Amino acid sequence: MTQPRRLVAGPAVFVVAAVLALFAGPAADALRADLPARLSDQDFWALSLELSEPGGSFQSDNLVSNETGFQGVIPELTSRLGEGGVYLGVGPEQNFTYIAALKPRIVFILDIRRGNRDLHLMYKALFELAADRAEFVSLLFSRPKPAFLTKDASAREIFAAFGAVAPSEEDYQRNLARIWEVLVKKHGIPLSSEELEGIKFVYANFHEFGPGITYSSNRNGRNGTGVTYASLMGRTNTDGIERSYLANEENFNVLKRLEAANLLVPVVGNFSGPKALRAVGTWLRDRNVKVSAYYLSNVEEYLSRDGSWLNFCGNASTLPLDDKSTFIRSGTGYRAPASPGQRGAASPVQSTSTVTLPDGRVFTVMSAGATSAGGVTSVGGLTTNRTGLMRDDLAPCAPPKLPLSFSR
């Protein structure tokens, strides 16, 4: 009688099983993701233009952040999100510190102001021109690099050294020409005369005000008040560790690599506008990748004031997300309250406004910042940053589920 042969699982079987396992779950998404390792010069600029919408205005040039608590959420972000993924943001240099910590594969910076794109194009050229942090700061502020600075210097040491160096008009003119050369000749970006003047305006402010430049610098033609660029870069978290993008060479090189590969794409767009945010989402969805972090600053405060927060909520809810996708907000940002079944609780309420959805559901938008009798007021320095899971915070804009957890 012939006995059935017993099959013994050898090493080859386990190898096959391991390979097959890659095609299920999160690893499958990583394998199928179609993000480029770099964007060509032509694709970089075409993508920026294609995703953008007409620009708008803001109350300041916003060349520098005024958020002093921006580093506080970094340990939470890195623990939750790890490295890789997609980063979305708004505004100036505070994005760089989050990018350095999260090391995303691609970055989109959306801002209503065309001037913000000019700012990031300036930064792109400077990151590519500078070999290290000290040279970068020298280029940014048009000040000769102190010879004694080493690559091991802290951000505080670097800015203390440059604080004693006078600006150089000769360096400014030479560096401005180099910035234009990198963008126009090296990358072939067909910048208009308006865009070239915009970059010149930005760079002239950094030259004039130096490391002491603030959020309100250039108002009435004089240096403003508030936290300075030098102070922001030298700040530490409660653990006493410098975490800014200029804290060490490793952080700096994260940005340098992304810029060299054309993977930090500035986009002109209103969060609540008809095109930009949804277009970014479509581009990412077509490549099977999810948003890992979205830095909002306190933009929701302004959207709630003008009644357009619901449009933003609808736009953001079309982004490709997963259970870890995270909003990063500054101290006065808005957040929809947690409804029954949602994770976490809303921030302390100081003022509220209700929004009615097209299907009749009603939810409340809460402010978590300074208030006055007339409503929410802006503050000169935003001292607290916090996070929120995007799927939870955008739940009011999702299709209704039964039983409904919202009042009618």
**What tens digit of pLDDT does each residue of 211-236 get?**
999 988 774 455 556 789 999 999 88
Instruction: Say what the pLDDT of residue 168 is.
Output: 95
Residue with tokens 């305006």: 201
Higher-pLDDT residue of 384, 38: 38
> Is 50 exceeded by the pLDDT of residue 352?
no
pLDDT band at 90 (very low <50, low <70, confident <90, very high): very high
Share of the chain above pLDDT 90, in %: 59
pLDDT at residue 280 is higher than 50: yes
Rounded Cα distance between 252 and 250, Å, is 5
Q: Which amino acid is at 48?
A: S
* CA distances (Å), origin 40, targets 149, 181, 188: 35, 17, 10
pLDDT at residue number 58: 78
Q: What is the pLDDT of residue 402?
A: 37
pLDDT at 336 over 90: no
- Band of the pLDDT at 159, cuts 50, 70, 90? very high
- Residues 359 and 386: their CA atoms lie apart, in Å, by 31
CA-based angle 193:52:178, to the nearest 5?
Answer: 40
Are 99 and 254 a contacting pair, CB within 8 Å? yes
Tell me, what's the pLDDT at 205? 94
Tell me the C-alpha distance between 206 and 222, whole Å: 12
pLDDT at 340: 37
Q: Are strands 264-268 and 106-111 parallel, antiparallel or unpaired?
A: parallel
